[in-house]
Structure 1
Amino acid sequence: MITHVVLLKFKPGVSADSAAAREAHAAMCALPAKVPLIKAWKCGFNTTPDVSGWDYVLVSGFDSREALEAYFDHPDHLKVVALWEPISDLAFGDLDG
């Protein structure tokens, strides 16, 4: 199992209540139904009120490195990325096992 973790930080002027953030969140929540490669999925707005914290968190799981890499190129994933790119900065990491 590969665990893929994504952290998103809103750009200035964007908040969790904005229409763009809500649209991106809804699209993110819909991905597991569209991408069968996803084996585990939990996403949402950060609930810890700290200015150092990231605003949005995704923790996902894939059966293999190959499945994760195929997910990166999946058209539905790319559509979601296109929603997040204008409103946030991204950090991510992957864990084997």
Structure 2
Amino acid sequence: MIRHLVLFKLNDGVRRDEPRVVAGARAFEELKGVIPELEFWECAWNITERPIAYDYAINSAVADGDALKRYLEHPAHQAAAEQWREFATWVIADYEI
């Protein structure tokens, strides 16, 4: 199994309550149950305000590398990620569990 972690940092001046950001978060929330490769899925806003903290996180798991590839290429995932490109940057980590 592979754990897929993503941490998003909103660009300077972007607020969580902006309509495009709210829509972006909703797009990720709605992936649960849509992409069959996802065996585990959770996403949420960070609740701390430390300077090094990221703003939004995705914690998910898939069966293997092929499933991860299918998830990443899935049109619903691509559409959600595309929204975030407008207002955030992110880092990822994929590791076997």
Paired position in structure 1 for 2:4? 4
1:12-67 residue CA offsets vs partner (Å, 9 max, x unmatched): 12111111111011110000221111010110110111121001111001011110
Paired position in structure 2 for 1:23? 23
Structure 1, unmatched stretches of 5+, are none
Q: List structure 1 runs of 4+ shifted beyond 4 angstroms.
A: none
RMSD: 0.8
Q: Percent identity?
A: 28
Count of residues in Structure 1 that have an aligned counterpart in Structure 2 = 97
Code of the aligned partner of 2:37: L
Code of the aligned partner of 2:70: A
- Give 1:13-92 correspondences, 5 Å limit: 13-92=13-92
The CA distance in 2 between the partners of 1:70 and 1:36, in whole Å, is 9
TM-score, normalising length from structure 1? Answer: 0.95
- The structure with the greater share of residues assigned to helix is 1
TM-score, normalising length from structure 2? Answer: 0.95
The CA distance in 2 between the partners of 1:67 and 1:52, in whole Å, is 31
Structure 2, unmatched stretches of 5+, are none
